[in-house]
Amino acid sequence: MMNNPFRTIASSVPFSDPRCAVRRDDFQMDDGFRGVHLVIEIPEAICVVPVLRDGRILLLRQWRYTIQSLEWEVPAGRMHAGEGVEAAAARELREETGHVARAFVSLGDFFPLAGISNHRGHLLAALDCEPAGSLQLEPTERIEVIATAPAEVRRLFSSFEIRDGFAVAALSRYFMAVAPPRP
């Protein structure tokens, strides 16, 4: 097993706001090499695959400013300080779809940008979802919720129309672990 080859010599935070921070670490490797690593610090997040009682999956269509594109997604968002994974999943599900779930199933976690960020995403399936009221969107969110048959979600996935990293990870794990294809 490999031991950590990095030793941090100095660390500073040249940029920080409530959504993220940039940390600059000066380091030395075990062979003497010295360098600088910038780490984008982002709070942990959750991503939820909402499944209705009839098996349809709630997909989101959301305009993403950063890439100037309308994307297929599933509910996701940052966890609040002190908030548990399932509580955050229930909150995001309610806010972005107007639904609640009977149960949550963990689909594990992942690091979407491990080369540049410590950002960690927790993936869950929300089972037996049912309507519970209107969406509770942030001022910059414009979301359309679409109940989609699993076969159509698989088609969107396999044709690379679902490009959001969190959605790709969550749907991959869901289709592998919870709803594998039938022979």
Determine, yes or no, domain membership for 1: no
89 within domain boundaries: yes
CA–CA separation, 42 vs 107, rounded Å? 21
In a domain, 183, yes or no: no
Beta strands in 4-142 (DSSP E): 6-16, 21-29, 34-41, 45-52, 57-64, 69-73, 76-78, 99-100, 103-110, 121-131
Indicate the number of domains in the chain. Answer: 2
Are residues 80 and 151 part of one domain?
yes
Task: Tell me whether residue 65 is in a domain.
Answer: yes
Same domain as 73, residue 28: no
In this structure, the answer to whether residues 71 and 28 fall within a common structural domain is: no
CA distance 131 to 122: 23
Residues 59 and 35 in one domain: no
Q: pLDDT tens, position by position, for the chain (183 residues)?
A: 888 999 999 999 999 998 899 999 999 999 999 999 999 999 999 999 999 999 999 999 999 999 999 999 999 999 999 999 999 999 999 999 999 999 999 999 999 999 999 999 999 999 999 999 888 877 877 899 999 999 999 999 999 999 999 999 999 999 998 776 555
Domain residues for 109?
Answer: 45-178
Looking at this protein, which amino acid is placed at residue 121?
Answer: G
